[in-house]
């Protein structure tokens, strides 16, 4: 699935929930499903700056594609980073860099996706794109 | 009927809803909401009076100057200061403390001198002192906080000496609501040192009657926006003779008497400390906020705060799984820091938001004290004049349902 297709898929799911509370509940479930992150990878160099809670994103390159493993010490942030990581995983670095999808505009996720530059989701996306950019250069 | 029972109608923000729920605003420790009278006053200045202060010799400028300077008299009476010249306008508490740290260190301090703060200070009352301490080779000592969140005054006594040049202490804790005995601190400082005593009144002044002469302190600093006023305006109150002896930190227009190419002389206090165009509209807005509080009466404001504190203690202290950071002395603010084992404060505040409950999450600019307690982050509920018991009930039920979802 392309980045666009994955975003559309998540949009469909998130649209089912009528309010922020149920959307957060969905993210909490996503967070609980993501139990594969090894604690020893909670390292400062994998930390995403600018989040209210601690968030880690670890990139991995396999068959010329990028994969992201993610974690957070807060549940809702972990659900969000799990969702974002799955959108950009299994994709070529070039496709990640050239993707101009604005997740803040696509998803209605209450205050956690407000388009503020000092916002956690903004930092998660920026981190993913930087990893992809470094791989190309 | 109590003066407070219908008070929300003065604050237009309470007309809106949040996520389809009534707004339960419990973050006044971060900033207060504004009554119509403050908003209208500032609008009126821009619409009908606006002109720079202290400059023009025309009607508009003289009207604005009069409005601006009259706020000094309002604040003199609000704080029972002996003169209106003792009121200096700043951007806020942070700028006020940066100004005092720099001006005092420059004038009165040298290598080896000591500054005393407490373990529960806001970053605004730590970092400016750390910055001058490094520059002037000064030492900072921190007064211990007891397990019940009161200040350890024996520890203060033992740390005071002839080397102590400044004691700067919070007037009301923004995390625990602790109100130190300022008069007792003043006595200890006077009898054990020649230090200047500064009180950080950012949380204290909005909630309680402060009489600077009765307290005997040297300086008081506070912000307008936490006491119904606008952002961008704060106050330093200082004893006149001390203000006279201090040098300005900022130079520019309006703070001078005479300027030559090689030197300048300063205007008298307070204007020597107010370089450039001051935030006069904000100051006038603060004047309207003081009028609003005086109209309620600060003793009534205190009583309301005490009632909400007692109710908060009754309702919030025994919620299953919720740990509370709150000073349980007879006199304390209606501030409750809270954390739940195994639940992140950011998750908790996001879930509370879905109930329309606005609280602060994080370290509330008291990171060293959080570290001392071994907690990363807390949520904090701070009530003000427009809050009522129903708001505390809403917080409690939202907390219970949020914790259930997050566990």
> Are the beta carbons of A74 and B361 separated by less than 8 Å?
no
CA distance B386 to B23: 12
pLDDT of residue B87: 98
Give me the pLDDT at residue B197, please. 98
> Testing the interface with B: which of A23, A32, A52 to mutate, by most B Cβ within 10 A?
A52
What does the mean pLDDT of chain A come to?
89
Is A24 in the B-facing interface, judged by CB distances under 8 Å?
Answer: yes
Torsion of CA A111, A113, A114, A119, to 10 degrees: 100
Residue A58 CB neighbours (<10 A): 18
Cα-Cα-Cα-Cα dihedral sign, residues B379, B385, B386, B388: positive
| Dihedral, B386, B390, B395, B398 alpha carbons, nearest 10 | -140
CATH of the domain at A92: 3.90.1010.10
- For residue A112, the chain B residues in CB contact (below 8 A) are 350
Q: Are A21 and A120 in contact (CB under 8 A)?
A: no
Query: What values do phi and psi take at A136, rounded to 5?
Result: -75, -45
pLDDT over 80 (residue A119)? no
Count of structural domains within chain A: 1
Average pLDDT over chain B, rounded to an integer: 95
Which residues in chain A are closer than 8 Å to B361, comparing Cβ atoms?
A: 52
| A62 alpha-carbon distance from chain centroid | 19
Contact of B166 with B319, CB cutoff 8 Å: no
In chain B, domain spans = 7-30+298-406, 40-295
Q: What is the CATH number of domain B7-30+298-406?
A: 3.90.1150.10
Q: Residue B335 contacts by C-beta under 8 Å, 6 or more apart in sequence? A: B29, B172, B173, B174, B175, B176, B177, B203, B326, B380, B381, B382, B383
B283 to chain A nearest CA, in Å? 29
pLDDT for residue B179 is more than 70: yes
pLDDT digits over B316-331, tens only?
A: 998 999 999 999 898 9
CB atoms within 10 A of CB A122: 19
Cα–Cα distance for residue pair B113/B105, rounded to 1 Å: 10
**φ/ψ bin of B17: left (φ > 0), alpha (ψ from -120 to 50), beta (otherwise):** beta
Tell me the pLDDT band of A116, cut-offs 50, 70 and 90.
low
- The alpha carbons of chain A give a radius of gyration, in whole angstroms, of 14
d(CA B197, CA B185): 9
CATH fold of B40-295 = 3.40.640
Asked if B365 is an active-site residue, the reply is yes
SS (H, E, C) B328-389: CCCCECCEEEEEECCECHHHHHHHHHHCCEECEEECCCCHHHHHHHCCCCEEEEECCCCCCH
Which of B205, B365, B385, B398 is catalytic? The answer is: B365
From the CA of A91, how many Å to the nearest CA of chain B? 30
E strands, chain A, in order: 55-62, 65-72
Q: Look up the domain containing A128 and give its range.
A: 3-136
For B3-38, the pLDDT digits (tens) are 899 999 999 999 999 888 999 999 999 999 999 999
Report which of B325, B384, B402 is spatially closest to residue B145, judged by C-alpha positions.
B325
The H or E element spanning position B239 is: none
Q: Is B344 on the interface with A (CB under 8 A)?
A: yes
* DSSP 3-state of B113: coil
With a pLDDT cut of 70, the percent of chain B lying above it is: 100
Compute the average pLDDT of residues A43-48.
Answer: 92
Q: Does B19 touch chain A (CB under 8 A)?
A: yes
Q: What phi and psi, each to the nearest 5 degrees, are found at residue B403? A: -65, -40
Tell me what pLDDT residue B54 has: 84
Q: Give the residue from B27, B341, B350, B352 with the most A CB atoms within 10 Å of its CB, the best one to mutate.
A: B350
- Alpha-carbon distance of B369 to B406, in angstroms, equals 26
* B267, β-bridge pairs: none
B19, B346, B353 member nearest A74 (Cβ):
B346
Strand partners, B63: none
Q: For A74, name the nearest residue in chain B, comparing CA atoms only.
A: B344
Q: What is the pTM of this model?
A: 0.92
Do B118 and B159 meet the contact criterion of CB atoms below 8 Å apart? Answer: no
Question: Please, what is the end-to-end C-alpha distance for chain B in angstroms?
Answer: 42
Q: How confident is the model at residue A131 (pLDDT cuts 50, 70, 90)?
A: very high
Instruction: State the smallest CA–CA distance between residue B52 and chain A in angstroms.
Output: 34
Which chain B positions have a beta carbon within 8 Å of A20's beta carbon? 19, 353-354
Position A114 scores a pLDDT of 62
DSSP B49: I
A125 interface with B at CB cutoff 8 Å = no
Is the pLDDT score of B402 beyond 60?
yes
Taking contacts as CB-CB distances below 8 angstroms, the residues of chain B near A73 are: 344, 376
Say if residue A117's pLDDT is above 60: no
The two most distant CA atoms of chain A are separated, in Å, by: 43
pLDDT over 80 at B284, yes or no: yes
| Tokens standing for residue B264 | 């300048």
Which of the residues A7, A48, A51, A76 is marked catalytic?
Answer: A51
B376: nearest CA in chain A?
A53
Task: Judge whether B345 and B376 are in contact, CB under 8 Å.
Answer: yes
> In Å, how far is A25's CA from the nearest CA of chain B?
8
* pLDDT tier, B167 (very low <50, low <70, confident <90, very high otherwise): very high
Q: Could you tell me how many CB contacts below 8 A there are between chain A and chain B?
A: 46
């Amino acid at each position: 699935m392309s980045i666009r297709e994955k975003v559309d898929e998540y949009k469909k799911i998130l649209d089912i929930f009528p309010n922020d509370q149920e959307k957060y509940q969905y993210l909490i479930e996503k967070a609980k499903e993501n139990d594969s992150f090894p604690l020893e990878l909670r390292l400062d160099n994998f930390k995403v700056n600018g989040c209210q809670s601690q968030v880690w994103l670890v990139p991995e390159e396999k068959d010329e594609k990028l994969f992201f493993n993610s974690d957070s010490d807060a549940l809702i942030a972990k659900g969000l980073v799990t969702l974002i990581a799955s959108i950009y995983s299994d994709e070529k670095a070039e496709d990640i860099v050239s993707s101009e999808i604005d997740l803040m505009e696509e998803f209605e996720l209450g205050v956690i996706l407000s388009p503020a530059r000092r916002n956690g989701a903004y930092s998660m996306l920026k981190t993913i794109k930087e990893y992809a950019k470094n791989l190309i250069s | 009927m109590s003066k407070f029972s219908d008070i929300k109608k003065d604050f237009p923000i309470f007309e809106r809803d949040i996520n389809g729920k009534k707004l339960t605003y419990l973050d006044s420790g971060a900033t207060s909401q504004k009554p119509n009278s403050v908003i209208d006053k500032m609008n009126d200045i821009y619409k009908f009076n606006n002109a720079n202060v202290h400059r023009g010799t025309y009607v508009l400028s003289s009207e604005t100057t009069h409005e601006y300077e009259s706020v000094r008299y309002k604040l003199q009476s609000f704080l029972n200061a002996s003169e209106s010249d003792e009121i200096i306008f700043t951007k806020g508490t942070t700028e006020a403390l940066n100004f005092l740290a720099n001006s005092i260190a420059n004038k009165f301090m040298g290598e080896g001198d000591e500054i005393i703060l407490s373990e529960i200070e806001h970053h605004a009352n730590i970092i400016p002192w750390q910055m001058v301490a490094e520059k002037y080779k000064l030492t900072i000592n921190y007064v211990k906080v007891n397990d019940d969140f009161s200040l350890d005054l024996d520890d203060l006594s033992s740390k005071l000496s002839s080397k102590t040049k400044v004691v700067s202490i919070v007037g009301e804790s923004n995390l625990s609501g602790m109100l130190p005995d300022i008069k007792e601190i003043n006595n200890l400082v006077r009898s054990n040192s020649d230090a200047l005593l500064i009180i950080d009144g950012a949380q204290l002044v909005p909630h309680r009657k402060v009489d600077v002469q009765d307290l005997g302190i040297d300086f008081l600093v506070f912000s307008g926006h936490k006491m119904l006023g606008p952002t961008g305006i704060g106050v330093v109150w200082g004893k006149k003779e001390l203000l006279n002896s201090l040098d300005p930190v900022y130079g520019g227009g309006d703070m001078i008497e005479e300027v030559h190419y090689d030197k300048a002389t300063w205007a008298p206090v307070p204007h020597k400390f107010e370089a450039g165009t001051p935030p006069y509209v904000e100051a006038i807005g603060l004047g309207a906020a003081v009028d609003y509080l005086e109209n309620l009466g600060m003793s009534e404001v205190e009583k309301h705060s005490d009632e909400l504190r007692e109710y908060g203690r009754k309702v919030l202290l025994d919620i299953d799984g919720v740990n509370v950071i709150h000073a349980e002395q007879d006199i304390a603010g209606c501030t409750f820091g809270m954390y739940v084992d195994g639940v992140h404060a950011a998750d908790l505040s996001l879930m509370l938001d879905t109930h329309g409950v606005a609280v602060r999450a994080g370290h509330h600019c008291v990171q060293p004290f959080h570290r001392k307690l071994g907690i990363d982050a807390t949520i904090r509920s701070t009530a003000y004049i427009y809050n009522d018991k129903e708001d505390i009930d809403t917080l409690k039920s939202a907390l219970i349902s949020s914790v259930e979802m997050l566990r």
